Amino acid sequence: MRSRCAHPNILLVSCAGKLHNARSVCMDLRTVGVTVFERFKAGQVGTIWYYAVLADSTAPTAI
């Protein structure tokens, strides 16, 4: 996520796209196994790291 100041609709669309991508990776992982990570320049470790950071950065925060 680039900016927490972006319009809420923009953030919603961005999160929806990233969620779709994450779900696609999970489905492909079940289908083809760890070779799914060969599609990504970051490899398995980098891709898992990216989605972990993404999940943390988009999680609701307590006020």
In tens, the pLDDT along 19-47 reads 999 999 999 999 999 999 999 999 999 99
**Residue 55, token pair as written in the block:** 């999940």
Q: What is the arithmetic mean of pLDDT over 49-58?
A: 90
From residue 45, alpha-carbon distances to 4, 29, 33 in Å are 26, 14, 14
CA quadruple 33, 38, 43, 48: dihedral positive or negative? negative
pLDDT of residue 57: 83
- What is the Cα–Cα distance from 50 to 8, expressed in whole angstroms? 22
Annotated domain spans of the chain: 8-58
Alpha carbons within 13 A on the beta-carbon side of 11: 13
